[in-house]
Amino acid sequence: MKKALVFGVLFCALCLAMQAEPADGLKVFISVDMEGISGVVTSEECSRSGKDYDLFRRIMTEDTNAAVRSAFKAGATEVWVRDSHGSARNILPDLLDRRAILVRDWSGGHKSMMEGIDETFDAVLFIGYHARAGTPDAIIEHTMSGVVTDSAVNGVSLPEAGWNALIAGHYNVPVVFISGDKAICEQAKDMFGEVETVAVKDAIGAAAVCLHPLEAQDKISEGVEKALKQLDRYKAYKFSPPYTLVLKLKTEKQVYNGAFYPGAKRTGDWELTYRSDDIMEIVKAFIWMRK
């Protein structure tokens, strides 16, 4: 009788332990840009030749750490950080949370800012993101490069967050959190519906009202933990096929060159169109047509 009672108690304890801590845990992917990092207001601050670049790459690392720490606190067992700005060698490896896996430099492949993402991840976080090209009252707004004036898939104009969410969506992984300026937070809500956002600054023309970096990092920590503890709220970002990409560029030379991409057609003044039933082919076209 006693043995049966002891066995029953141990069995119940084991069941409770299994419920409290899932065997697989969470696997989280973090893509980090720089224009939307705490305090950044000019392109010079994001450039390796800029006087204050070293300061802001440190703050970029600290904003990232705020997200990494909260991801582990929320139950993550593996966190990947993709350095997604400029050279893709901005985050300071020695200051990054030692538990994170860091992806640096460009592979040359089409996943670009999402290099390393696959179907094994449970959630995506965007840190330091910015609004799409042409957005009013936005800090350093652009889309991938200065040559793109607009890029749309199935009639939806996309910022970099939209493109990267579609790549994640291809693997059925939802974007659950984004930090950056107020403009990209609003665009993210329009695109994704359910998404946790933290605006670390708000534009006044070319100026910005900025949170102190430590205050911004506290808010990032809170937002990430909240998002990861409610994963059932979020859905992977997807469009229905067929897909139509309409890309508008700044110069005749760029459009002329882009029209040589197999399947691309010139459809207007400095406008290119490409169609496919495969979203990753659309992503590849977007990468190469604007070169």
Asked if residues 181 and 130 have their Cβ atoms less than 8 Å apart, the reply is: yes
The Cα 103–Cα 93 span in angstroms is 10
Other beta carbons within 10 Å of 192: 22
Separation of alpha carbons 140 and 121, rounded Å: 30
- Angle of helix 213-228 relative to helix 53-73, nearest 10 degrees, comes to 30
Q: Could you tell me if 61 and 46 are in contact, meaning their C-beta atoms sit under 8 angstroms apart?
A: no
**Using omega within 30 degrees of 0 as the cis cutoff, is the peptide bond preceding 136 cis?**
no
Q: Which of 140, 32, 127, 163 is nearest to 88 (CA)?
A: 32
**Count of CB atoms within 10 A of residue 103's CB?**
23
Rounded Cα–Cα distance for residues 168 and 147 (Å): 24
Secondary structure (DSSP) of 151-212: EEETTEE--HHHHHHHHHHHTT--EEEEEEEHHHHHHHHHHHSS-EEEEEEEEETTEEEE--
Distance of CA 164 to the CA centre of its chain: 6
Q: Which of 130, 142, 170, 212 is catalytic?
A: 142
130 is catalytic: no
**Is 126 within 8 Å of 223 (Cβ atoms)?**
no
How are strands ordered across the β-sheet holding 243-249?
Answer: 156-157, 148-153, 243-249, 271-276, 265-268
Instruction: For residue 36, give both structure tokens.
Output: 């939307």
- Residues annotated as catalytic are 142
